[in-house]
């Protein structure tokens, strides 16, 4: 097989159950064999992930789901979002580029076309590129998050942050604290949110004895504010 393009969509669905998506060391370890394969074969690898729920983070680099190590490990990163003035259009904007200078964003629409098939014509999507866009990744975040930017208490923001960061399993306490600091969440508020959500830090049994945070075993519909004080 001479594949030239490998698309993993979404990335989180293909990580091993023991891999902590919010733990930088785990993520880099999981991506290392993939990077080696790409280097060995020359195939391009595209990883797809969704935005996290921290609508108050204005830097697109920090809005991807999972550890910051994901965007740190790749050579280029992009954000795709709806155009703020035309919902039929999409904007493809760069958030990171280690291979070349970051360039302008591009706009496109998805059209339906009929293509021949054994059973007759079938309808298929087609990308129609519309050229340059003056919008940036920051502009797109502001638009995408406009509905989510209702006034919230610091505690609610911290709760939502923890639910998002720990959604895929335990995460190293140091990693959680670092990401919270980057998101502008005060340590005292973070610990209040931890207690309200019933998060009990657990110490690993290895020689390092590191501390991990994990959400309690609750139904999937758990949301901020639904747990008893």
Least confidently predicted of 22-26, 147-151, 202-206: 147-151
pLDDT in tens, 144-191: 665 455 556 888 889 988 988 887 778 889 888 888 887 888 999 999
- Tell me what the mean pLDDT of segment 96-101 comes to: 87
The pLDDT score that the predictor gives to residue 8 is 93
Task: Please return the burial class of 205, using the count of CB atoms within 10 Å of its CB with bins 0-12, 13-18 and 19+.
Answer: exposed
The rounded mean pLDDT for the chain is 84
Q: What ranges in 74-186 are assigned the alpha helix state H?
A: 137-144, 154-165, 173-182
The pLDDT score that the predictor gives to residue 93 is 94
- Tell me what the mean pLDDT of segment 138-149 comes to: 69
pLDDT in tens, 208-227: 778 899 888 754 444 444 44
- pLDDT > 90 fraction of the chain, expressed in percent and rounded: 31
Residue of higher predicted confidence among 223 and 198: 198
The pLDDT score that the predictor gives to residue 223 is 43
The pLDDT score that the predictor gives to residue 150 is 54
Strand order in the sheet with 202-203: 171-172, 211-213, 202-203
H or E segment at 36? helix 24-41
Find how far residue 207's CA is from the centre of its chain. Answer: 32
Q: What is the pTM of this model?
A: 0.61
The pLDDT score that the predictor gives to residue 190 is 94
pLDDT in tens, 2-21: 889 999 988 988 888 788 88
Task: Please return the burial class of 27, using the count of CB atoms within 10 Å of its CB with bins 0-12, 13-18 and 19+.
Answer: buried
The 10 Å Cβ neighbour count of residue 123 is: 8
Residue of higher predicted confidence among 210 and 192: 192
């Amino acid at each position: 097989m001479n594949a030239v393009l490998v698309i993993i969509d979404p990335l989180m669905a293909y990580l091993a159950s023991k891999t902590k998506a919010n733990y930088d060391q785990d993520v880099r370890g999981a991506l290392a064999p993939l990077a080696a394969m790409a280097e060995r074969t020359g195939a391009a690898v595209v990883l797809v992930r969704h935005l996290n729920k921290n609508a108050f983070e204005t830097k697109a680099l920090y809005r991807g789901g999972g550890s910051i190590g994901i965007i740190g490990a790749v050579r280029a990163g992009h954000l795709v979002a709806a155009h703020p003035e035309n919902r039929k259009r999409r904007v493809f904007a760069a958030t990171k580029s280690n291979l070349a200078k970051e360039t302008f964003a591009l706009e496109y629409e998805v059209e339906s076309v009929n293509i021949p098939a054994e059973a007759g014509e079938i309808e298929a999507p087609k990308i129609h590129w519309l050229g340059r866009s003056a919008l940036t990744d920051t502009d797109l975040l502001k638009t995408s998050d406009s509905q989510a930017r209702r006034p919230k208490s610091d505690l609610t923001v911290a709760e939502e942050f923890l639910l998002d960061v720990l959604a895929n399993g335990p995460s190293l306490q140091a990693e959680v604290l670092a990401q919270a600091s980057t998101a502008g969440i005060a340590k005292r508020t973070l610990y209040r949110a931890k207690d309200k959500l019933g998060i009990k830090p657990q110490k690993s049994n290895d020689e390092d004895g590191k501390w991990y945070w994990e959400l309690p075993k609750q139904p999937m519909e758990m949301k901020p504010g639904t747990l008893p004080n």
